[in-house]
Amino acid sequence: MIEMKFNIFRFDPEVDREPRYQKYTVKAEPWERLLDCLNRIKWEQDGTLSYRMSCAHGVCGSDGMKINGRCALACQKLVKDYQDKEVLLEPLPTFKVLKDLIVDLDKFFERVEWVKPYLIAGAPPEKERSQSPEESNKVETAIRCILCACCSAACPVCHENSDYIGPAPLVQAFRRIFDSRDEEKEERLKQLDYPDGVWGCVNYFECTRVCPKEIPVTKSINLMKREIEKSR
Amino acid sequence: MAFKHDVVIVGSGLAGLKAALEVADGLDVALISKVYPTRSHSGAAQGGIGAALGNEEPDSWEWHMYDTVKGGDYLTDQDAAEILATDAVRAIYELEHMGVPFNRTADGRIAQRAFGGHTRNFGEAAVKRACHAADRTGRVILDTLHAEATKRGIRIYPEFQLLDILMKDRSVVGLVVYEISSGKLHVFHTRAVLLATGGFGKVFKVTSNCFANTGDGVYLAYRCGIPLEDMEFVQFHPTGIYGLGVLISEAARGEGAVLRNSERFRFMEKYAPTIKDLAPRDLISRAIITEIREGRGIDHRDFVHLDLTGISKEKLSEKLSDISSFAEIYLGVDVSTDPIPVSPTCHYMMGGIPTDLNGHVLNENVEAVEGLYAAGECACISVHGANRLGCNSLVDLVVFGRRAGQSIRRDLEQLDWKSLPSSPDARPAEIIENLKTRSEGEKAYVLRDAMQELMTRSCSVFRNEKDLKKALSELEDLKNRYQNVKINDRGDSFNSDLLEAMELERLLGLAETILISALGRRESRGAHFREDYPERDDENWLKHTLIRQTDSGPEISYKPVTITRFEPKVRTY
């Protein structure tokens, strides 16, 4: 067992005027996840600590937070990689904090909805629509997205410009634009062709660096920019 | 606040969403979920969704039905299995039309791969039946149905947790729901309720299930006097990452991975000579534990190896990238060169709220409860019998979720608004008040850990009367101690301390129904293996268990299995 030290962002709008940081020490096995440490702190030491979590293995996308300054999923980070110094846990930046490590994602999901994250196509055949493996591979990385919001939280443009649509909704748009079955490619590209759409991205690559599912986010955005330029 | 909707669906996984889409047109339907919908546990389904499309090789729905019945060790209700197998084909095309990004064959059709227990020509050899999107099939279907639901303007209440089902004259009239962000109690007045609240794997210590899987709908139905069916049948998936329980999909074995013991022997050859590593889950989990008990666990420890090194790197990255990354993240293992340490992990509940083929919840007299429906893992149709086949869960959700939605549509004309009871939220309000004001007592995690420990020790892959009885008496003690459970957080906003304490009541109640049902069934069938009764006994036990809460405690009864096409016979693979 390793003794892990944490410094955790605390804020309860019901009681606190401003945020504070609270220190905790907890024992954990090297192979355990930081989420396991958080749970132990919550269950054994301080039930008032709040964070979201569910699947605990990087599929549901609930436990995005800032870990030592970097946006990540607490269930994907192991104790052995953080044992040397105190671990700083903070909520995802750019979003409004609701309590402790929980942020308001309503606007994030509204923006995902805005890109029409569903297939738009005419009447289907009796069986499946035809699609070659090469065509289906074009969206292979984009379908990994779990909407954890780490990319949008980490994006420096999102910090400064709250109107920028942000990387996650753009990945969702990419998934449909490059799906050979979708019939609204032109309209979808037109929708994103504005300063706070795809052009808001200026290649910081932070989204790509933090993506827990290793989606080439920046590259995907640039591919959409190229498609827009081609269609002009 | 009081809300009023014609139909309220609880749970936003695939069953809830599919039902909501069926009900939506012209009717006022609301969907409540304790997590944000895209976080639902359907999204963790990896390997595939089964349907006899025959895209890769000849297949037929009848073979699929047979595999489902045999996989369920003949406890499967065969009318349900026939619907599942025939309607699966339509359901897959419907999902494709909605945009689900399935992998493709070279000629542009939906690709399919082998999966445990799915065979050609009634057991001859493995067949490729699992349609898939890499190893994130559940997640992409969840995202697709969720987007469809928001497009159709279905009212979703995210982070709203079910606390009580309101009944009047044996009909459902509404729900009491807790808004997690504000701590407010709300009453939903409604004409029809669909429970689609998923499983309750959190009863066990090692599980592939998410933290949200606490059986809320199942326990609350039980508390209303609804019997629960076949609760002893708990599926342990053979390949959970050792210690963590994180699932490594059967798709790995479908693509060519094999299980090996400490002698590097592919031991499934011994237990299932025909389909080996593609045998059903109950059989493989027993084989793994047997190897470990006989001293052939790796380094004499309690796990074996899942060896993916025979699979090409290309296929690993194209078809199994999520599980490859799980092995890398959690174990530092490169699956192309090294094996994964695995052991059985609690994965799926075959039992649950009894329903007919159209989602109507059935009472102890096998009559429909007015206004109450169930679908998905929380329901027991029973289409999975004593052991569910891989790939049959997702197809159950979309086939029977849809049927439940359709029957709500049909029934709604006859379902009148009934008045709510006076102070409908009095009971949950009192429970919350008690929890928040109690200053002396034990914390929930102490009791939860003890429950998970004892269930894992006594009621897993192998069971016997002595251990089950001991577990039951230990559980009684935990239930008594629960009366004095104490929490830390007295706040209103995101008080998960409070919610987890309330969830524990459900888990304890469900653990008891599992133990009592398991103790009752003196035979071995599917996932329920009794060391003291190691044979299947069709003469006495080809029947479903029902357990019901009465004033004098839980009461067991039984009901017959529906057999249509396939008479029970010896189950070998």
Domain co-membership, B321 together with B446: no
**Averaged pLDDT of chain B:** 97
Domain co-membership, A120 together with A90: no
Nearest to A102 among B101, B212, B494 (CB): B494
Domain co-membership, B434 together with B324: no
Nearest to B35 among A46, A62, A109 (CB): A62
Give B-chain residues touching A59 at CB under 8 angstroms. 43-44, 136, 139, 322
Tokens found for residue A81? 């990689």
SS3 B381: coil
Tally the residues of chain B: 573
- Region B390-405: mean pLDDT is 98
Q: Do B318 and A137 touch (CB under 8 A)?
A: yes
| End-of-domain residue from the set A103, A123, A156 | A103
Report if residue B114 sits inside a domain. Answer: no
Give A-chain residues touching B181 at CB under 8 angstroms. 98
DSSP-assigned letter for residue A92: P
- Region A118-134: mean pLDDT is 97
Domain co-membership, A93 together with A154: no
Question: Any CB–CB contact under 8 A between A100 and chain B?
Answer: yes
Q: Do B329 and A76 touch (CB under 8 A)?
A: yes
- Region B236-249: mean pLDDT is 95
Measure Cα distances from B64 to A105, B51, B70, B254 in Å: 42, 7, 10, 16
Give the H/E segment covering residue B559.
strand B553-560
Residues 60-79 in A contacting B (C-alpha not used; CB under 8 Å): 60-62, 76, 78
Domain co-membership, A73 together with A156: no
Give A-chain residues touching B321 at CB under 8 angstroms. 144
When divided into structural domains, chain B yields a total of: 2
Domain co-membership, A195 together with A133: yes
Residue B281 appears among annotated catalytic residues: yes
Tokens found for residue B258? 């094999």
Q: Which among B402, B417, B395, B418 is positioned nearest to B359, based on CA atoms?
A: B402
Pairing mode, strands B340-349 and B125-131: unpaired
Question: Any CB–CB contact under 8 A between A216 and chain B?
Answer: no
Q: Do A179 and B329 touch (CB under 8 A)?
A: no
Whether B224 and B164 have beta carbons less than 8 Å apart is answered as no
B529: CB partners within 8 A, 6+ apart = B282, B286, B461, B462, B463
Q: How far apart are CA A189 and CA A183, in angstroms?
A: 12
Q: Do A54 and B211 touch (CB under 8 A)?
A: yes
Res B537: pLDDT: 98
Nearest to A128 among B96, B139, B143 (CB): B96
Q: Which among B192, B175, B222 is positioned nearest to B424, based on CA atoms?
A: B175
Q: Do A143 and B330 touch (CB under 8 A)?
A: no
Helix, strand, coil fractions of chain B, as percent rounded to 5: 40, 25, 40
Q: Do A143 and B321 touch (CB under 8 A)?
A: no
- Region B388-396: mean pLDDT is 97
Using 50, 70 and 90 to split pLDDT, how confident is the model at B181?
very high
Distance from CA of A89 to the nearest CA of B (A): 18
Residues 149-168 in A contacting B (C-alpha not used; CB under 8 Å): none
Domain co-membership, B333 together with B430: no
Q: Which residues pair with B526 in a beta bridge?
A: none
Res A14: pLDDT: 84
Report if residue B571 sits inside a domain. Answer: no
Range of the domain at B261: 238-345
When divided into structural domains, chain A yields a total of: 2
Q: Which residues pair with B188 in a beta bridge?
A: B3, B175
Question: Any CB–CB contact under 8 A between A139 and chain B?
Answer: yes
- Interhelix angle B392-411/B137-151, rounded to 10 degrees, is 20
Judge whether residue B209 has pLDDT over 90.
yes
Tokens found for residue B61? 């729905």
CB contacts < 8 A, A to B, total 162
- Region B197-204: mean pLDDT is 98
Domain co-membership, B550 together with B431: yes
Give B-chain residues touching A57 at CB under 8 angstroms. 44, 244, 246-247, 326, 330
Q: Which among B487, B489, B459 is positioned nearest to B472, based on CA atoms?
A: B459
Tokens found for residue A139? 């969206």
> For B487-545, how does the pLDDT look when each residue is reduced to its tens digit (9 = 90+)?
999 999 999 999 999 999 999 999 999 999 999 999 999 999 999 999 999 999 999 99
Residue in B21, B36, B184, B247 to test binding to A, most A beta-carbons within 10 Å: B36
Res A194: pLDDT: 97
Q: How far apart are CA B554 and CA B512, in angstroms?
A: 9
Q: How far apart are CA B394 and CA B544, in angstroms?
A: 23
Helix ranges restricted to H, A41-184: 106-114, 133-137, 150-154, 156-160, 167-177
Range of the domain at A206: 106-231
Quick one: how far is CA B400 from the chain centroid?
14
Nearest to B491 among A14, A57, A60 (CB): A14
Domain co-membership, A49 together with A159: no
Res B569: pLDDT: 96
DSSP-assigned letter for residue A41: I
> For A163-204, how does the pLDDT look when each residue is reduced to its tens digit (9 = 90+)?
999 999 999 999 999 999 999 999 999 999 999 999 999 999
Nearest to B104 among A50, A124, A131 (CB): A131
> For A134-171, how does the pLDDT look when each residue is reduced to its tens digit (9 = 90+)?
999 999 999 999 999 999 999 999 999 999 999 999 99
Measure Cα distances from B105 to A124, A137, B361 in Å: 19, 12, 40
Measure Cα distances from B119 to B124, B133, B330 in Å: 6, 21, 33
Residue in A10, A49, A57 to test binding to B, most B beta-carbons within 10 Å: A57
Distance from CA of B34 to the nearest CA of A (A): 10
Question: Any CB–CB contact under 8 A between A122 and chain B?
Answer: no
CATH number at residue A37: 3.10.20.30
Domain co-membership, A154 together with A220: yes
Whether B326 and B335 have beta carbons less than 8 Å apart is answered as no
Domain co-membership, B555 together with B430: yes
- Interhelix angle B137-151/B78-98, rounded to 10 degrees, is 70
Question: Any CB–CB contact under 8 A between A84 and chain B?
Answer: no
| End-of-domain residue from the set B313, B345, B377 | B345
Nearest chain B residue (CA) to A55: B210
Q: Which residues pair with B237 in a beta bridge?
A: B345
| End-of-domain residue from the set B294, B316, B345 | B345
Give the H/E segment covering residue B500.
helix B496-520
Q: Do A118 and B151 touch (CB under 8 A)?
A: yes
Residue in B496, B498, B502, B504 to test binding to A, most A beta-carbons within 10 Å: B496
Tokens found for residue B407? 């029957």
Distance from CA of B137 to the nearest CA of A (A): 10
Distance from CA of B446 to the nearest CA of A (A): 9
Quick one: how far is CA A179 from the chain centroid?
22
B246: CB partners within 8 A, 6+ apart = A56, A57, B208, B240, B326, B330, B345
Distance from CA of B322 to the nearest CA of A (A): 8
Q: How far apart are CA B374 and CA B360, in angstroms?
A: 7
- Region B140-149: mean pLDDT is 98
Domain co-membership, A71 together with A110: no
Give A-chain residues touching B40 at CB under 8 angstroms. 60
Report if residue B317 sits inside a domain. Answer: yes
Tokens found for residue A160? 């400064």
Report if residue B105 sits inside a domain. Answer: no
Nearest to A143 among B140, B493, B496 (CB): B140
Q: How far apart are CA B91 and CA B390, in angstroms?
A: 17
Tell me the residue ranges of DSSP E strands in A29-179: 64-67, 70-73, 87-90, 97-99, 102-103
Q: Do A119 and B99 touch (CB under 8 A)?
A: yes
Judge whether residue A232 has pLDDT over 90.
no
Distance from CA of A216 to the nearest CA of B (A): 15
Residue in A98, A118, A132, A211 to test binding to B, most B beta-carbons within 10 Å: A118
Tally the residues of chain A: 232
Res B387: pLDDT: 98
| End-of-domain residue from the set A103, A131, A154 | A103
Judge whether residue B152 has pLDDT over 90.
yes
Q: How far apart are CA B528 and CA B544, in angstroms?
A: 13
Domain co-membership, A129 together with A225: yes
Domain co-membership, A212 together with A115: yes
B133: CB partners within 8 A, 6+ apart = A143, B100, B101, B102, B103, B140, B141
CATH number at residue B519: 1.20.58.100
> For B308-355, how does the pLDDT look when each residue is reduced to its tens digit (9 = 90+)?
999 999 999 999 999 999 999 999 999 999 999 999 999 999 999 999
Give B-chain residues touching A12 at CB under 8 angstroms. 491, 493
Q: How far apart are CA B384 and CA B388, in angstroms?
A: 5
CATH number at residue A188: 1.10.1060.10
Residue in A131, A180, A182, A188 to test binding to B, most B beta-carbons within 10 Å: A131
Res A84: pLDDT: 87
| End-of-domain residue from the set A103, A118, A142 | A103
Res A23: pLDDT: 98
Q: Do B103 and A15 touch (CB under 8 A)?
A: no
B113, B129, B260, B281: the active-site residue = B281
Pairing mode, strands B258-260 and B485-486: unpaired
Domain co-membership, A227 together with A112: yes
DSSP-assigned letter for residue B47: S
Domain co-membership, B435 together with B556: yes
Domain co-membership, A23 together with A110: no
